[in-house]
Homo-oligomer: A and B are copies of this chain.
Amino acid sequence: MAEESVARTVRRQARDELTRRIVETARTQLAMVGASGLSLRAVARELGMVSSAVYRYVPSRDELLTLLIIEAYDALGAAAERAESRVAREDVAGRFRAVCLGVRRWAIRHPHEYALIYGSPVPGYAAPEATIGPASRVGALLVGIMADGVRHGKRSAGRVAAGLGEDGSALPEPVRRAIAPIRAFTPPQVPDELVVAGLMAWTYLFGAVNFELFGHRHNVVADPAALREAFFEHEISRMAALTGITG
């Protein structure tokens, strides 16, 4: 009958709804007290149920954290994509810049969520399989920009290659082999040199945000938000120049 499937769906819906509320509550808790202070029992209390009931929906605290990790990756990726989408497609340098500013902006607004994904890995060492998709959204964005940079203006791509081999030497063979995994996700038109440059820009972006958010720029860069932002924009544009994205 129809009622059968409907009933099943109703139950599933109720279950999904409660699961959603649990994760949502956990997310607000995370935003307030950070990952180390996140308590399954507190989440249960907030929802008016007993702690053991939560275990019907979430297998463990670590799994809850994994769900929050996925959410955070997705939110960060969405923020970066939104910022990037507001820039004209041809403005490759502007798109790169927008991604960087978007990432930093989101990180500053959601420090605990950012720390959860780009700080020390909290559970074990291996990230769960389910996180790799959302985790690569920012990277995918950068790859797309690189590819467009190659397509739109051969000029910039050419300049990149030149920048990389400043002394005339090509990319060392071990380096070429080292980037084999990422090459599986990059269009073949993008040369190895540009891939390396993109990886470095990506590395730098999160290195800078990490340093700023985790306090490693105390007594190094001035505190006022405007100055920090000015410095960030400068370092990012310098990095873009190295990458060869000069607009």
Within 8 Å CB of A204, what residues of B?
Answer: 200, 203-204, 207
A129-151 residues at the B interface, CB under 8 angstroms: 132, 135-136, 139
In the bound complex, CA of A227 to CA of B203 (Å): 17
Known: A125-B215, A206-B207. A221 touches B120 (CB 8 A): no
Given contacts A166-B241, A175-B231, contact A207 B215 (CB under 8 A): no
Query: Using Cβ atoms and an 8 Å threshold, which residues of chain B touch A215?
Result: 121, 125-127
Residues of chain B lying within 8 A (CB to CB) of residue A221: 178-179, 181-182, 199
Question: Do the beta carbons of B222 and A181 come within 8 Å of each other?
Answer: yes
Which residues of B lie under 8 Å from residue A166 when comparing CB positions? 241
Interface flags, A152-191, vs B, CB<8A=1, else 0: 0000000000001010000110110111111001000000
Classify the secondary structure of A's interface with B: helix
B214 near A118 with CB under 8 A, answer yes
* B residues near A206, Cβ cutoff 8 Å: 207, 210-211, 216
Q: Which residues of B contact A218 (CB under 8 A)?
A: 127, 132
Q: List the 3 shortest-distance A-B pairs measured between CB atoms, nearest first.
A: A207-B207, A119-B120, A174-B230
A residues contacting B by CB (< 8 A) are 34-36, 115-116, 118-122, 125-127, 132, 135-136, 139, 164, 166, 171-172, 174-175, 177-182, 185, 196, 199-200, 203-204, 206-208, 210-211, 214-216, 218-222, 226-228, 230-231, 234-235, 238-239, 241-242
Q: Given contacts A185-B219, A206-B210, list 5 more A-B pairs with CB under 8 A.
A: A132-B218, A181-B219, A200-B235, A206-B211, A210-B210
